[in-house]
């Protein structure tokens, strides 16, 4: 634990509600970081009816993870509507919230932005480019020589009103944005090399149906980039948690 972290006032942020959509898309490397920082983690499956356990106005931290469905599929997956309602309430009180992939798209939708298919599916390891604001944020830890993040999405979103664009990629101009104490990341900074093996099984059909990618290539790229991302992700998450802790207590 860093000196800055140990001296931070974390008493106001101890409970973390983590919403999952498929079991293998979990916190990855972020779980150990949060536990070391003294956070109690409560995993909640969005499809199981557990969303009612979340207290959007008082839970200290909310993290919404990814999944292979669209935010627009509310008729097929009614729990998405409940997630959007939860996020609307959460955003209204500006409590610390992190959305990854589907979680980011849900945040964008809750803020009134359109979510729609991208021009291509972006699956695999590649770098992100930061805006000026992103370069001044904790995301600066996720860029550099031979640093790539994992992308696994086929949809994108318009930038919500009053949100700050933080990152882009070659195919997707809206890769990350912030809105008060909320951070939305289209890409995955939390994955580990070992943790991706269940992804290759769970997303087997999508991999087979997407030109230009294969399990063997994804595995080789994960071996090259995942450990560096894990180390960079550690610094990113700790700094972001410190930042939102300070803002929440101000």
In this predicted model, what pLDDT tens digit does every residue of 141-190 receive, in sequence order?
999 999 999 999 999 999 999 999 999 999 999 999 999 999 999 999 99
| pLDDT for position 245 | 80
Tokens matching residue 195: 């943790």
The pLDDT tens digits for 32-89 are 999 988 899 999 999 998 999 999 998 999 999 999 999 999 999 999 999 999 999 9
Residue 124 confidence (pLDDT) above 70: yes
Domain 13-249 maps to which CATH number in 3.90.400.10, 3.40.50.880, 3.40.630.10, 1.10.10.10? Answer: 3.40.50.880
Q: Does residue 2 surpass a pLDDT of 60? A: no
Task: Say whether pLDDT at 126 is over 80.
Answer: yes
Mean pLDDT over each residue of the chain, to the nearest integer:
93
Sign of CA pseudo-dihedral 28, 128, 145, 37: negative
Q: Give the pTM.
A: 0.93
């Amino acid at each position: 634990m860093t000196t800055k972290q140990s001296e931070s006032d974390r008493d106001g942020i101890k409970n973390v509600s983590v919403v999952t959509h498929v079991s293998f898309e979990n916190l990855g490397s972020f779980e150990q970081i949060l536990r070391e920082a003294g956070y109690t983690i409560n995993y909640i499956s969005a499809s199981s009816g557990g969303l009612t356990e979340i207290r959007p106005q008082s839970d200290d931290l909310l993290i919404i993870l990814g999944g292979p469905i669209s935010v627009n599929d509310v008729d097929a997956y009614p729990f998405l509507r409940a997630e959007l309602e939860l996020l609307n309430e959460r955003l209204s009180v500006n409590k610390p919230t992190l959305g990854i992939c589907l979680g980011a798209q849900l945040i964008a939708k809750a803020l009134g932005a359109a979510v729609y298919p991208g021009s291509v599916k972006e699956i695999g390891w590649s770098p992100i480019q930061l805006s000026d604001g992103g370069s001044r944020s904790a995301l600066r830890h996720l860029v550099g020589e031979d640093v790539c993040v994992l992308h696994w999405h086929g949809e994108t979103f318009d930038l919500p009103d009053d949100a700050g664009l933080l990152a882009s990629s070659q195919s997707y101009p809206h890769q990350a944005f912030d809105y008060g104490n909320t951070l939305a990341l289209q890409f995955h900074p939390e994955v580990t090399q070992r943790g991706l093996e269940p992804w290759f099984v769970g997303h087997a059909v999508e991999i087979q149906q997407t030109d230009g990618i294969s399990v063997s290539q994804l595995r080789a790229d994960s071996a090259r980039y995942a450990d560096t991302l894990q180390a960079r992700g550690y610094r990113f998450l700790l700094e972001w948690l410190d930042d939102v802790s300070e803002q929440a207590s101000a």
